[in-house]
């Protein structure tokens, strides 16, 4: 067993997590330990599945398992299957030199591995994948701990609902952090690529101009080969000039996309801002959608039906939180890939914004409880049971209503109904 320093943390009371590496080759374990030591992981190593299981029995706070597949005493699939029974929440990965499809199917179906990685590995990519899963597991454990702590506090004093609202907001931000990073990294990727191409084009253009200046006085006596070469350079330059506008356009669009994501994330974080603003429900709904789009697009098509409507006087950050809760619930309700429909409309007195899904629907026997604090039908780690309760309270304090219609097997629609005219009494603070 080899240890290094625990992963750095901003919370001095946070218990460090271990990374358990399992491989029958000592050199592989040494190489992995060197890779992870650079990132200050605390590493445990085992040369076989039985040895790793023994380590798990006597060690708490293992945050991730990285195992070889083909080992003599016990293969990786069997080991991960047993490890899953011991600690089902710990992320499990296979790192193997054999990439046959049969191996991949076995470790995923039998061992429940979340990742199938190949040797030889790329250090930076391996570190990225491990850290991402490590952090997700830490977040899961922290969310569970917070949920238990919050439940204990509320049982003693139900008047502390403001703290619960803030906890729900932070839990939502934590769960979506990886998705938001992905949404930013995507345009950054092609911006970087486009700038690299532009740098190459610049070199070619500068070289072309330089060559023309040098050979300009000798053009009449150019040999046939020189003439052909010059024609090719001219054609290449025409191609570059044709490509430049589109390249610049794509780069600017990527920059605008990042700007919008950052702006919407900033708006979402302003839940505690007390000042009222006149905004459209469409802008609030779009801000929330930007934050959770990467999560939602994996399970549903998104269709929008927006009417141009009047603004409402509200706390935009609080409405953003409401719509984020509704969008996340819609995505999590999907039994199979479906559709989420976003609508904004108005009449003479009210403005309506609805989120409809084609999920499993809400059974009638629990419909009356969905707005109760801590009521949830989600599995552990996927919800605090506070989202709809907080959302309903926020809308009520805006002098509005949160309406729900649902048919089992068809889907559910949540509708935010707010008065068109500015309210006389400002909504109270609700985070």
What integer pLDDT is reported at residue 9 of this predicted model? 41
Residue 336 counted as domain residue: yes
Does one domain contain both 37 and 125? yes
Residue identified by tokens 């919407």 is 264
Lowest-confidence region among 2-11, 296-305, 354-363:
2-11
The structural domain count of the chain equals 3
What integer pLDDT is reported at residue 13 of this predicted model? 45
Residue 329 counted as domain residue: yes
Could you count the other beta carbons within 10 Å of the beta carbon of residue 25? 13
Instruction: Convert the pLDDT of each residue in 319-350 to its tens digit.
Output: 888 898 899 889 888 888 899 999 999 998 99
Give residue 76's domain range.
18-140
Residue 409 counted as domain residue: yes
Does one domain contain both 250 and 366? no
pLDDT above 50: residue 425: no
Distance CA 346, CA 417 (A): 9
Distance CA 358, CA 181 (A): 27
What integer pLDDT is reported at residue 178 of this predicted model? 55
Q: List the structure tokens of 13.
A: 């009371």
Instruction: Convert the pLDDT of each residue in 355-377 to its tens digit.
Output: 999 998 999 888 888 888 767 77
β-strands 115-118, 300-306: how paired?
Answer: unpaired
Mean pLDDT of 276-293: 87
Does one domain contain both 263 and 290? no
In sequence order, the β-bridge partners of residue 312 are 279
pLDDT above 90: residue 130: no
pLDDT above 50: residue 383: yes
Instruction: Convert the pLDDT of each residue in 19-75 to its tens digit.
Output: 999 999 999 999 999 888 887 888 999 999 999 999 999 988 888 899 888 888 888
Q: Tell me, what DSSP letter sits at residue 6? A: P
Mean pLDDT of 258-287: 73
- Which helix (H) or strand (E) segment holds residue 197: the answer is helix 161-215
Assess contact for 90 and 59: CB atoms under 8 A: no
Mean pLDDT of 236-244: 80
Mean pLDDT of 288-301: 85
Distance CA 215, CA 211 (A): 6
Does one domain contain both 280 and 411? yes
Does one domain contain both 204 and 260? yes
Does one domain contain both 313 and 248? no
Better-predicted residue by pLDDT, 180 or 87: 87
Does one domain contain both 251 and 296? no
What integer pLDDT is reported at residue 430 of this predicted model? 39
Mean pLDDT of 136-154: 80
Q: List the structure tokens of 2.
A: 């080899």
DSSP codes, 328-385: HHHHHT-SSSEEEEEEEEE-SSEEEEEEEE-S----HHHHTTTTSTT---SPTTS--S
Domain boundary among 88, 120, 140: 140
Domain boundary among 267, 289, 319: 267
Distance CA 316, CA 418 (A): 13
pLDDT above 60: residue 290: yes
Does one domain contain both 203 and 294? no
Residue identified by tokens 């707010």 is 418
CA dihedral angle for residue 246, residue 249, residue 255, residue 257, rounded to 10 degrees: -100
User: 102 vs 105, 294, 368, 394, CA distance in Å?
Assistant: 5, 30, 48, 52
Residue identified by tokens 């929330």 is 288
Does one domain contain both 284 and 260? no
Lowest-confidence region among 17-31, 168-182, 412-426:
168-182
Identify each DSSP E strand in 243-337 by its residue range.
277-279, 300-306, 312-314
What is the distance between the terminal CA atoms of the chain, rounded to a whole angstrom? 46
Mean pLDDT of 311-316: 87
What CATH number does residue 382 fall under? Answer: 3.30.565.10
Distance CA 270, CA 78 (A): 48
Residue of 7, 10, 59 lying closest to 36 (CA atoms): 7
Instruction: Convert the pLDDT of each residue in 182-195 to its tens digit.
Output: 567 667 776 888 78
Does one domain contain both 195 and 112? no
Q: Tell me, what DSSP letter sits at residue 221? A: G
Q: Give me the chain's average pLDDT, please.
A: 78
Does one domain contain both 352 and 384? yes
Does one domain contain both 200 and 65? no
Q: List the structure tokens of 146.
A: 């917070």
Residue of 39, 38, 80 lying closest to 62 (CA atoms): 80
Instruction: Convert the pLDDT of each residue in 194-229 to its tens digit.
Output: 788 888 888 888 877 877 776 654 455 556 666 666
Assess contact for 337 and 300: CB atoms under 8 A: yes
Helices (H), 88-160: 101-109, 123-156
Better-predicted residue by pLDDT, 209 or 160: 209
């Amino acid at each position: 067993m080899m240890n290094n320093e625990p992963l750095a943390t901003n919370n001095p009371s946070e218990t460090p997590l271990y990374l358990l590496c399992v491989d029958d080759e000592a050199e592989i374990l040494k190489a992995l330990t060197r890779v992870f030591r650079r990132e200050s992981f605390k590493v445990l190593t085992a040369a076989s599945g039985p040895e790793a299981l023994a380590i798990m029995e006597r060690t708490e706070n293992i945050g991730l398992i990285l195992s070889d597949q083909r080992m003599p005493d016990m293969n990786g699939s069997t080991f991960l299957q047993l490890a899953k029974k011991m600690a089902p929440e710990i992320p499990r990965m296979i790192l193997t030199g054999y990439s046959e499809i049969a191996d991949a199917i076995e470790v995923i179906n039998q061992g429940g591995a979340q990742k199938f990685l190949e040797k030889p590995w790329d250090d930076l990519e391996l570190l990225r994948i491990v850290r991402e899963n490590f952090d997700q597991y830490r977040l899961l454990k922290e969310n569970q701990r917070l949920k238990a702590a919050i439940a204990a506090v509320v049982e003693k004093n139900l008047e502390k609902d403001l703290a619960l609202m803030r906890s729900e907001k932070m839990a939502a931000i934590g769960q979506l952090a990886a998705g938001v990073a992905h949404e930013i990294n995507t345009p950054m990727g092609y911006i970087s690529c486009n700038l690299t191409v532009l740098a190459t084009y610049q070199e070619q253009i500068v070289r072309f101009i330089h060559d023309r200046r040098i050979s300009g006085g000798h053009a009449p006596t150019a040999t046939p080969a020189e003439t052909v070469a010059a024609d090719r350079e001219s054609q290449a330059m025409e191609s570059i000039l044709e490509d430049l506008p589109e390249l610049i356009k794509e780069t600017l669009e990527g920059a605008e996309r990042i700007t919008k994501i950052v702006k919407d994330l900033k708006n979402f974080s302003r839940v505690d801002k007390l000042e009222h603003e006149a905004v459209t429900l469409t802008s609030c709904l779009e801000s929330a959608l930007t934050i959770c789009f990467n999560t939602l697009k994996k399970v549903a098509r998104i269709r929008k039906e927006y009417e141009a409507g009047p603004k409402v006087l509200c706390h935009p950050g609080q409405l953003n939180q409401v719509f984020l809760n509704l969008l996340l619930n819609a995505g999590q309700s999907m039994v199979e890939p479906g559709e989420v429909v976003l609508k904004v409309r108005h009449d003479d007195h009210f403005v309506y914004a609805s989120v409809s899904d084609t999920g499993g629907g809400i059974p009638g026997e629990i419909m009356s409880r969905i707005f109760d604090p801590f009521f949830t039908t989600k599995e552990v780690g996927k919800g605090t049971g506070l989202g709809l309760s907080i959302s309903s309270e926020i809308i009520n304090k805006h002098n509005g209503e949160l309406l729900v219609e649902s048919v089992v097997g068809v889907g559910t629609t949540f509708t935010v109904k707010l008065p068109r005219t500015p309210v006389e009494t400002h909504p109270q603070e609700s985070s």
